[in-house]
Amino acid sequence: MNYLLAIDQGTTGSTSLLIDAKSLRILDKEKIDYRQIYPQPGWVEHDLNDIWASVKASVLSIVSRQNISAKDILAIGITNQRETTCAYNKKGEPLANAIVWQDRRTFNFCEDKKASYGPYKTRTGLPLDPYFSASKMRWLLDHVPAVKTAADKKDLNLSTVDTFLLYKLTQGKSFATEPSNASRTMLMGLETFQWDDELINFFGLSKDFLPEIKESFSHFGTTLGCDFLPDGIPILSILGDQQAALFGQTCVRPGDLKCTYGTGAFLLLNTGESIIHSRQGLLTTAAFYHAGKKIYALEGAAYIAGAAVQWLRDNLNMIHQSPEVETLAREVHDLNQMRDVLFMPFFTGIGTPYWNSEAKAAIVGLTRGTSKSHIARACLEGIALSVNDSVESFKKDFSKLNDIRVDGGAAANNLLLQIQSNFSENKILRPQVIDTTAFGVALGALIGKKEVEIQDLHKLWKLEKEFNPEKNNYFSDKKNLWNKTIQRMFL
């Protein structure tokens, strides 16, 4: 039994990683995409059967390709898109499509309740917003007859995706979650890491529908009745995707910070056992829960990162493949030509620290001399400046930041990371393993199996490349221009 299986259930697809349990070398991975369902503007759904099928197919693919017996899998870790909300019965049969974290259908509900929610914000660390799960659960009960009927018959499970996968993997024997996911529902108390009765009543829900909250690295159950895995494999680790990336970067000390560059960019700062209520628009959330210790984080978000490069590729046809943006941007040799050019990548609003969902993207400061290379460079700068807004917020809320560890697809872009280092005035560290989300729950499975201690995890992290800040007034001037332009155009 020499392998760890990490299941990373993401927004557009499910990825499985097979990892050597001794060397922690990634042996194989497979991603299976599935349908995105858009019933009407602002609504985003997933078919839970599609999600389950994609997980099954990705696991089968790597097990068969590596020609190993599934019986050689030591343990399973699960990581997942966090706030996406599932409704299913006690047999594990979906009662409705999952409502995805991006979905905005409960906007009016949240607006109507904002005034009365105020006293609860410190309990959850979250603003009242459709992003989170509780209002989605309420919507399912109010608008889907099958969900209401199941509730009346005490045949209803409401959960995030991690719990749905656990339930299916264990043939309904395990109905559980952990705090990094539960803290994104708006129903868990940050101080207790348990469901909060007052919050549940605020949203008109019932604790009977909700899973048990366990420690993040514990025995969640064993596989049972799956036609693609043998019975008896223990599931020892569950974390929401961003917290899994934090853990995969071995950011287990207060002040440790990671940034994941994907479609958007998400930053998490480990604040240790201290709950920090941000004065800068950051979210307060659970990082992980282990051996009775509650570990917290501050979170910042830039809604658009890699998606801005995709826009240059798909909408403007400036490049054929996303990595080409770095080559094109490097054609700019005189930064003086860039001083007034800003790419504001706010295609879906501004995240941290402004939280303006009505903002729109813009490219400003163009002249007749502006070329494709200038726009490509401005795009990378816009991503880095958006991320830096969260970094600056962290610096105001927390006394000391360690070096920024980066991962995700766009972290392969050397120019972007150098620009990020210059704007943020921090050292940027890229690890050898950038599949840190899945890697995080693989490490968590070893913690759950008591084969590794958390304080020793730093020994398993290996540096691939380091980026150090360069001194140039251009970057401070550009930050000032960015801040003034946001104030003028979007606030």
Q: What is the CATH number of the domain that holds 119?
A: 3.30.420.40
Q: Which strands, in side-by-side order, build the sheet including 293-302?
A: 283-290, 293-302, 265-272, 257-261, 404-407, 428-431, 463-467
The DSSP bridge pattern shows strands 257-261 and 265-272 to be antiparallel
Q: Which of 179, 240, 234 is nearest to 211 (CA)?
A: 179
What pLDDT shows up at residue 276? 93
- Give a yes or no: residue 378 inside a domain: yes
What value does the mean pLDDT take over residues 382-410? Answer: 93
Distance CA 166, CA 180 (A): 15
> 332 with 481, same domain?
yes
In this prediction, residue 14 has a pLDDT band, given cuts at 50, 70 and 90, of: very high
Number of C-beta neighbours around residue 421 at 10 A: 23
> 156 with 207, same domain?
yes
> Residue 300 above 70 pLDDT?
yes
Classify each residue of 219-247 as buried b or exposed e, where b means 16 or more C-beta atoms within 10 Å of its C-beta.
ebbbbbebeebeeebbbbbbbbbbbbbbb
The structure's pTM equals 0.90
What pLDDT shows up at residue 451? 83
Coil, helix or strand at residue 238: strand
What pLDDT shows up at residue 434? 81
Q: What is the DSSP string of 410-472?
A: GGG-HHHHHHHHHHHTS-EEEES---HHHHHHHHHHHHHTTSS-GGGGGGG--EEEEE-----
* Domains held by the chain: number: 2
Coil, helix or strand at residue 379: helix
Coil, helix or strand at residue 386: helix
What pLDDT shows up at residue 11? 86
Look at the block and give the residue holding tokens 């339930």. 167
> Residue 1 above 70 pLDDT?
no
Distance CA 50, CA 33 (A): 9
The amino acid sitting at 28 is D
What pLDDT shows up at residue 23? 86
> Residue 247 above 80 pLDDT?
yes
> 300 with 333, same domain?
yes
What value does the mean pLDDT take over residues 446-472? Answer: 89
> 190 with 333, same domain?
no
Residue 324 class from Cβ within 10 Å (0-12 exposed, 13-18 middle, 19+ buried)?
Answer: middle
Distance CA 205, CA 220 (A): 24
What value does the mean pLDDT take over residues 458-465? Answer: 89
What value does the mean pLDDT take over residues 322-350? Answer: 94
Determine the angle formed by the axes of helices 414-424 and 473-490, rounding to 10 degrees. 80
> 260 with 290, same domain?
yes
- Give a yes or no: residue 241 inside a domain: no
What value does the mean pLDDT take over residues 416-426? Answer: 97
> 429 with 299, same domain?
yes
Domain boundary among 232, 264, 294: 232
- Which bin fits 355, alpha (ψ -120 to 50), beta or left (φ > 0)? left
In this prediction, residue 294 has a pLDDT band, given cuts at 50, 70 and 90, of: very high
> Residue 191 above 90 pLDDT?
yes
What value does the mean pLDDT take over residues 446-455? Answer: 87
What pLDDT shows up at residue 459? 83
Determine which of 92-96, 181-185, 315-319, 408-412 has the lowest per-residue pLDDT on average: 408-412
What value does the mean pLDDT take over residues 5-17? Answer: 92
Determine the angle formed by the axes of helices 133-143 and 145-152, rounding to 10 degrees. 90
Residues 6+ positions from 292 with CB-CB distance below 8 Å: 215
Q: Which strands, in side-by-side order, build the sheet including 45-46?
A: 45-46, 98-99, 85-88, 157-160
What value does the mean pLDDT take over residues 4-20? Answer: 92
What value does the mean pLDDT take over residues 453-467? Answer: 89
What pLDDT shows up at residue 433? 85
Domain boundary among 232, 262, 292: 232
What pLDDT shows up at residue 24? 87
Q: What is the DSSP string of 8-59?
A: EE-SSEEEEEEEETTT--EEEEEEEE---B-SSTT--EE-HHHHHHHHHHHH
The DSSP bridge pattern shows strands 85-88 and 157-160 to be antiparallel
Q: How far is CA 288 from CA 196, 243, 470, in A?
A: 18, 7, 35
What value does the mean pLDDT take over residues 330-353? Answer: 93
> What is the chain's mean pLDDT, rounded?
93
Look at the block and give the residue holding tokens 């509730």. 151
> 128 with 23, same domain?
yes
> 74 with 208, same domain?
yes
What pLDDT shows up at residue 396? 93
Determine the angle formed by the axes of helices 107-117 and 133-143, rounding to 10 degrees. 120
- Condensed to tens digits (0 to 9), the pLDDT of residues 130-142 reads 889 999 999 999 9
In this prediction, residue 204 has a pLDDT band, given cuts at 50, 70 and 90, of: very high
Structural domain of residue 281, as residue ranges? 250-491
In this prediction, residue 470 has a pLDDT band, given cuts at 50, 70 and 90, of: very high
Domain boundary among 168, 200, 232: 232
Instruction: Give the single-character DSSP code of 94.
Output: B
> Residue 410 above 80 pLDDT?
yes
Number of C-beta neighbours around residue 396 at 10 A: 11
> 355 with 390, same domain?
yes
| Percent over 90 (pLDDT), the chain | 78
What value does the mean pLDDT take over residues 294-308? Answer: 93
> 166 with 268, same domain?
no
